[in-house]
Structure 1
């Protein structure tokens, strides 16, 4: 190739190619910026209309992915690449990827079904997929849960949807389960009256339904009293620990002895 041919190539093809590359980069940067703006505007509109944050986030992710695919196809079309052929190739690749990543697609489908059935929303305290905590985000493939000890945990949507889901935030109140072991000789009816009065004074314990304090069982150590106050799930652990303290305080003030197992001696008859 002589110098004249090289100059002709540089002055035509190479320059055109460089312009197209620069234009493609500009399209990508501007397109990404516009996609971000569109998604943010859509989510802001949904938030103004009090749409559930879980649905808002999920739809925002789907729209962002769809617009990014459209942007890539548009850039390829600008370069003169037949997008129909590319789409066919993408579909074929999708089948192969789908077979290899069936678990990921299952998580995606489970996330879509959870949006329809709505077993929980962002901010709910749940037990699902072997984890207990507050829902922070429902993503395309996984749900982010923050456990009570503040651990950021991501669980696959498929695992959550196929397992038992407990939502502690749906009902207005939740029952705290505690017991008080009394010693032999302590009057259980007097203990019930004292514990009812003490539990009713605990902050955030609701009056309706009223706290349940009942004679639960009999052990060798003595009677067992069940102590069950009700509270909103946001105050569950505060009421849980305050109930323990109330039981200990009532026992100390009443002078109840420490429970101990009564030894039963078997008398062997004389020969």
Structure 2
């Protein structure tokens, strides 16, 4: 019965263990260097007052690219032919690109969003069926926080191919409110009273002045369109204060109850 040379097996096991340990050390050191490089780039871009949208996009792209380089370097340390590996990556990239065309379209759309800048980080928008504040624009998805504080990850291609409403682009926006009056109510008096009351609300802009006009007629009576203007960050405060002002201003007017007159012959 042949004898097993345990010394050779021990040397092989030690060599494999040392290589694995070296690979782990290289990985953690490399990741630390990548984070350091990304942080230095972020600091330089911040000093140059580059838009936060571009900063986050560059950070994501740099981190992914350097991580791929790190993996290739570790494989080269183990003696894997990197040129062959690079060719394999290219071939795999073509295959993955054909299979994951949607992912690549999200990547391309993200680049266009950064270059064309229909919105930036911190803007309040409606895009891809989601309304909220833009947290960041990533390589493939854009993170949007809705007003109820829910994070939504929306594909960049879905955003770029759909209508984008940017509520922060213009210096002010209009608040849409309605006031139902009774059929017997004094409409001119209600309009004057509401117009003066809206001017007293905090953060309502004097120019353009608030609009109070007859919007439509219902069986209960005329409906007034109450439209104050404010900056985007004050929208909800003006919205709720405006509704409160409508209730308080019209407290002395007839109650708008729905009624139906039946005439019998």
Task: Label 1:2 to 1:43 Cα distance change in 2 as closer, same or farther (>3 A).
Answer: farther
Task: Label 1:2 to 1:18 Cα distance change in 2 as closer, same or farther (>3 A).
Answer: farther
- TM-score scaled to structure 2, two decimals? 0.93
**Worse overlay, 217-226 or 130-139:** 217-226
Question: Which residue is 1:59 aligned to?
Answer: 58
After superposition, the CA RMSD in angstroms is 2.0
Q: CA deviation at 1:51?
A: 1.1
Q: CA deviation at 1:260?
A: 2.9
The 5-angstrom pairing of residues 73-222 of structure 1 reads 73-222=72-221
Q: How many residues align?
A: 265
Task: Label 1:9 to 1:218 Cα distance change in 2 as closer, same or farther (>3 A).
Answer: closer
Distance 2:195 2:83 in 1: 74
Q: CA deviation at 1:266?
A: 4.7
Unaligned stretches of 5+ in structure 1?
none
**Worse overlay, 171-180 or 257-266:** 257-266
Distance 1:256 1:68 in 2: 70
SS of residue matched to 1:209: coil
- Residue number among 236, 256, 263 corresponding to 2:253 in the alignment: 256
Q: CA deviation at 1:265?
A: 3.8
Distance 1:14 1:185 in 2: 96
Q: CA deviation at 1:17?
A: 4.2
Q: Which runs of 4+ in 1 moved over 6 A?
A: 1-4
- TM-score scaled to structure 1, two decimals? 0.91
**Worse overlay, 256-265 or 55-64:** 256-265
Task: Label 1:9 to 1:262 Cα distance change in 2 as closer, same or farther (>3 A).
Answer: closer
Question: Which residue is 1:233 aligned to?
Answer: 232
Q: CA deviation at 1:9?
A: 6.4
Unaligned stretches of 5+ in structure 2?
none
Q: CA deviation at 1:267?
A: 5.9
Question: Which residue is 1:32 aligned to?
Answer: 31
